[in-house]
Structure formats: C-alpha cells, structure tokens
Amino acid sequence: MTVRPSRFPAALGLALAVALTGCAGTAAPDEVGSSSSAAASTSAAASASTAAATPAGQRIEVQVSGGGASGDTGRVPVAVGEHVTLVITSDAADEVHVHGYDLEAELSPGQPAELAFDATIRGVFEVELHEAGTLLLSLQVG
C-alpha cells in the first residue's frame, strides 16, 4: 500500500497522522473506518483503507414516520472504502434509493430494511424515498 503525500494542508493534519499510524504497523488500519470522526479525514488515509475489509463499518439508521425523516439525516460523512449499512424503518410502504451507487430496497411498514455496501465512489449522494420523494440523507463519501 502506498500513501500519497497530502496536497492540501488544512484538512490533512489528521489525515496524515491517521495514514502514518495506519501504515506503520503490518496490520490493516482498521481504526480508519471505525468511527465517523475519521470520516472527516480525506484522500490519503481513506484510499489506503479501501482494500482493507472493515468488519464494523458505519451503521446509518433513519426512521420515517408521517412523511418526515429522523435519525441520521442531513449530511452524513463516510470514509472512502468504508462498509456502510443503511437501516431504514418506515411507517409506510415505499422504496429507498441510494443515488450514484444505484441501490434500492423495498420498504414495508414497520419492517427495517437494510442496504449494505462498500462506499467506494467519492462524491455526495442522496438517499431518498422513491414514492414520497422524501430526502432522507446525503452520503458524503470522501
């Protein structure tokens, strides 16, 4: 694995530190993907961890009731390569759609639906309900 030198100083103190500690040992840097605070770090650390499977990953839960969304809504940062598990519980039948990754899951009232995937594409992607058109959250991968 290679670590590219950081290009942009401001955001990267943390990133560099994480990347260096990650590469110092021989083990996969499992700490990189384990918490959402690490998601704020950018390129170097994140791409370094892409290959490493992170068993824990990030769990994002959203509840929908009466047409409104609650839980992990808004802009949710995710590190590149992290394993993401989206859990959506809705009080009405609908379909949830993750843009860009183009993933869909049927929602039955009261039944939590799970979408699990590796966040390998950088960018900001909306997660929304097909029928109602409700925006649940935006995944910020990078």
Binding site for other proteins (CB under 8 A): 7-12, 42-43, 74-75, 97, 99-100, 102, 120-126, 128, 130, 133, 135, 138, 140-142
Least distance between other proteins and beta carbon 51 (Å): 15
User: From the CB of 27, what's the least distance to other proteins, in Å?
Assistant: 27
The residue (of 65 and 120) whose beta carbon lies closer to other proteins is 120
Cα–Cα distance for residue pair 28/66, rounded to 1 Å: 43
Nearer to other proteins, 56 or 130 (CB): 130
**DSSP symbol at 38:** G
Nearer to other proteins, 17 or 56 (CB): 17
Q: Shortest gap between Cβ of 138 and other proteins (angstroms)?
A: 7
Beta-strand pair 68-71/74-78: unpaired
Instruction: Specify whether the CB–CB gap between 96 and 104 falls below 8 A.
Output: yes
Q: Which is nearer to other proteins, 50 or 89 (CB)?
A: 50
Q: Which H or E run contains 11? A: helix 9-24
* Distance (Å, whole) CA 68 – CA 61: 14
Radius of gyration of the chain (CA): 16
- Measured from the CB of residue 102, what is the shortest distance to other proteins in angstroms? 7
